Amino acid sequence: MAVPVSFKLKGGDDLQRQFDKLGGTISRKIGKFAMRKAIKPVVKRAKNRAPVNTGLLKRSIGTRLYRSKKTGSLIVAVGARINIKATKLTRGALSGAATGVKQIPSLYHHLVEFGSTKTSTWELKPDTAKALHIGGGGYLAGEGAFRAKAVHPGFRGQPHIGPALNRHKAAVTKLLIKKLWVGIRKEIA
């Protein structure tokens, strides 16, 4: 789930004229260069604010550049990259043997960022067993209780990308304009 943020550059007529003079391929190259440089402070801040359990979510935060099929605009997305994965070893409850649980941050990142609202509670039911074990400790220790179903109450998000973008919005805009002009001057010279 992405929160779209768009920038409208004031006084961008000069930039647009220069881009038109340079042509499509060169202007796209300059745009990609400028956007990658301009968004770096947001990525750095988001990584610093990301909650750390295993560190996998923090490592997965990155950017992706793509072109909109509808408008042709260049878009930069900040979030969990899909190629970051890990296997977390856990101990089985009965056997104590190590088992691997695959963790893919791009599948749960939106839940960490936004949480799940109180209106989105969901019912949990066992797949194969007759009951769920609810409560602390292991069920061999006699703690907790067995239930046929349970209701998960939802949870609060731990925003890190949104606040990072809000904090650096003005700096990103200034840096983007600066890097665009650097690229244009470099190509013209």
pLDDT at 43: 93
pTM: 0.71
- 12-20 — which CB contacts under 8 Å span 24+ positions? 15/177, 15/180, 15/181, 15/184, 18/184, 18/188, 19/184
Determine the pLDDT at residue 45: 94
Give the domain ranges of the chain.
Answer: 13-117+156-188, 118-153
Helix 24-49 to helix 161-188 angle (10° resolution) is 150
Whole-number pLDDT of residue 39: 92
Residue 155: predicted pLDDT: 79
Give me the pLDDT at residue 136, please: 60
Taken as a whole, the chain contains a residue count of: 189
- List the chain pLDDT tens, one digit each, 189 residues: 555 666 666 666 777 777 777 777 788 888 888 889 999 999 999 999 998 888 888 888 999 888 888 877 788 888 888 887 777 665 555 555 556 667 788 888 888 888 876 656 677 777 777 777 676 655 555 566 777 777 777 778 889 998 998 898 889 888 988 888 888 888 877
